[in-house]
A and B are shown apart, each in its own frame.
Chain A
Amino acid sequence: MEPIISIKDLNLSIGNSSILRNINVDIPKNKITIILGPSGCGKTTLLRCLNRLNDLNPQVKITGSIIMHGEDILHTSTDVTEIRRKAGLLSQRPYPLPMNIFNNVAYGLRINRDLPRKEMHQRVEEMLRQVSLWEEVKDRLKEPAGRLSIGQQQRLCLARGLAVHPEIILADEPTSALDPISSEAIEQKFRELKDEYSIVMVTHVLRQARRIADYVVFMYLGEVVEQGTAKELFENPQKEMTQAYLKGLYLN
């Protein structure tokens, strides 16, 4: 199947320290890809390459290529903001925008185009329903988004991200700050959303990966150790390191 993103020979260093080495990964379309590995293995850095967020740090040096729709997004003539519009990010901790609940979602919608009032209202409702937040917030749309619970904020951020209409959703341990029920809600959403979007999620929680992964990339110390479909990797891991991690043994 045609991958949505192909990462080829990606190397990344910050100053003198090498963070990612020889990454070659094909991210399948309309699947949940899980980047799995212990803390500090470069999972998040890899994820942030996919929407060029590492640009914010001038010390980061990247070689290799990331191909999306036949274009190398690392060395592109296209505007970086265009690339970022195609990839929505859900961060570890939700960051709603400093405005009311309604306008948070409307901000996402306006990124592409401004809509007439009535249509805007419909679209915001649609987006909030998509993340099962509408019933909880429909009477308080004018309240500051910062007053929602963390779990609600994360779903609001997802709705805001979906409003931009990306092709990929990048999620960086999106449930690590959430309670079990909110985490479950996010996971459930991801399962529903993969029909329309390709999802790349970073996690170090093995159980979570087992629950929702279609494709798994296992990383350790800045390298991809093993990758394959969830079935292959979880049931029949080839590398010793992967076997050890799956058994819950510490990697030293």
Chain B
Amino acid sequence: MRTVMFLCTILIVTILFIILYSIFKKGLPALSWEMISQVPKGGYYLGKEGGILNAIIGSLYLALGSTVLALVVSLPVALYLNTQLVRYGRLTEFVRFLMDLMWGVPSIVYGAFAFTIMIALGIRASLLAGIITVALFIIPIMLRSMDEILKTTPRGLLEASISLGSTYSEVSYRVYLKQCLPGIVTAVLLSFGRAIGDAAAILFTTGYTDHIPTSLSQPSATLPLSIFFQLSSPIPEVQNRAYASAVVLMVIILIISIVSRILANRFIKHQIKH
């Protein structure tokens, strides 16, 4: 068994490094200050001047917006499931099952679903529509990740807290949140990664534009779609820019990860062990 574990670990790490290496190898030479500081000029997709600032800003807006929206919905639900509803085992298991199903639904289905609603209501592709669609898509991910963390809270801590005469909201927001903060930060981060990296959910809902959006009702460019458009170009120079865009995307995720880890570690010392 140890050999299997060892080989699998090596395999995963190797694959990860091959992916990173090939992206960086092609992307880094094409990456320039111009590329991350300018919006596409005329003919950018034919290899002329410009950059992908529109997609960087658009992706950050979209991912931050949808992560915040998903957090506002997921956190109370996850806390509710693990404090007040903890006595109704069947109900909570049913909610978990539903969330697991929703987790399995491909993001293109969320995109298509949102698109039908947008057509029915006569709404154009916009940043807001994208934020809502992506939020729907990452809520199951965020909720279940938080839920798994909150589940590990010792039962005795719940009993001790409510025995003091705390209400369930005090138990939730003052005890559970503090106990599980590092895990919750990880859950948010995981969802942010999914939100910023997903292309299918935003394909119909957010549209694409060469401008930086100035309001929620405008369409917006995003990094995954920008990568897709550049990669579909027959011109090698433009294709390399796609890899450079991928590097940008990964660096954003890396920065967010590091910052969140540092934040999470500041709170871990208060955690009560079993």
Q: Is the beta-carbon distance between B159 and A89 smaller than 8 angstroms?
A: yes
CB of B6, distance to nearest CB on chain A (Å): 35
Q: Mark A157-180, 1 if CB is under 8 A from B, else 0.
A: 100110010000010000000000
B residues less than 8 Å from A82 (CB atoms): 165
Q: In the complex, A86→B164 CA distance in Å?
A: 9
Interface residues of A in 97-137 (CB under 8 A from B): 97-100, 107-108, 111
Of B162, B165, B167, B271, the contact of A146 (CB 8 Å cutoff): B271
B88: which of A58, A87, A164 is its contact (CB, 8 Å)?
A58
For chains A and B in complex, what number of residue pairs have CB atoms within 8 angstroms?
82
A55-B87, A57-B87, A146-B270 given as contacts; is B163 within 8 A of A97 (CB)?
Answer: no
**What residues on A are CB-neighbors of B165 within 8 Å?**
81-82, 84-86, 111, 164
* Chain A contacts with B in 59-114, Cβ cutoff 8 A: 81-82, 84-89, 91, 93, 95-100, 107-108, 111
Most buried by A among B87, B160, B273: B160
Contact status B163-A84, CB under 8 Å: yes
Cβ-based interface call for A237 (8 A)? no
A91 touches B164 (CB 8 A): no
A1 at the interface (CB under 8 A from B): no
Q: Measured between alpha carbons, how far is A221 from B271 in the docked complex, in Å? A: 38
A146 to B157, CA, bound (A): 12
Which residues of the other chain, A, contact B2 by a CB distance below 8 angstroms?
none
Min CB distance B146 to A, Å, is 16
Inside 8 A of B269's CB, which chain A residues have their CB?
144
Give the CA-CA distance A57 to B166 in the complex, in Å: 18
Q: Given known contacts A98-B272, A146-B271, is B174 in contact with A107 (CB within 8 Å)?
A: yes
Q: A95 touching B270 by the CB < 8 A rule?
A: no
Some 5 contacts from A to B, beta carbons below 8 A apart, are A84-B164, A89-B163, A96-B272, A164-B165, A170-B163
Please name the 7 residue pairs, one residue from A and one from B, whose CB atoms are nearest each other, closest first. Answer: A85-B165, A89-B163, A95-B160, A98-B179, A98-B270, A84-B165, A95-B156
